Amino acid sequence: MARLISLLSILICFASCDPGFSVVLSNNSQADKNITVLVNDKYPFRLRDSVLITDTLVSFFEPYKSHVTNIVTHPSQAGNAYSFQLEKGKKVLLQNGIGGPDLSQRIVVNNTDSISLSKKEKRVLIKRKFMYTTVNIKVE
């Protein structure tokens, strides 16, 4: 009985310490957008050579139903950013994994508009479910 209790305790501890997360950017406008993602220097592994993209009405987490494809990104000269073209009516998966999202990451839209994940904005919606956090960013 003691083994069962200790096993359950360890299982609950591991499950509660490693929640999943995703950061999704949606283009709900009527025009294509040039997106630049600025990555914190502490997290160079967040630089991507490609990102997953799909329609805004389809989920990334239902691959049997969706048309998820990769698009190639273009790294910056400084090595702390990457950019890509986001078509109208599409969404892209910027971050996902275990732990938590990098809230210091910034997104620049068409070289004029900056979106920060750490500030409270209408465009950034954070949803927390039991073991998963989703950050939805809408560009209009």
Quick one: CA dihedral 121, 20, 130, 68, positive or negative?
positive
pLDDT tens-digit series, residues 67-100: 667 778 888 877 788 889 998 988 888 888 887 7
In a domain, 105, yes or no: yes
In a domain, 1, yes or no: no
* Low pLDDT (below 50) residues in the chain: none
8 Å CB contact between 94 and 23: yes
pTM of the model: 0.76
In a domain, 123, yes or no: yes
In a domain, 14, yes or no: no
Q: Which domain covers residue 46, as residue numbers?
A: 19-139
| pLDDT the model gives residue 64 | 53
In a domain, 8, yes or no: no
Which among 38, 71, 75, 32 is positioned nearest to 54, based on CA atoms? 71
In a domain, 24, yes or no: yes
| pLDDT the model gives residue 135 | 85
Number of domain units in the chain = 1
* Token pair for 45: 């592994």
In a domain, 36, yes or no: yes
Task: Tell how far CA 52 is from the center of its chain.
Answer: 10
| pLDDT the model gives residue 65 | 53
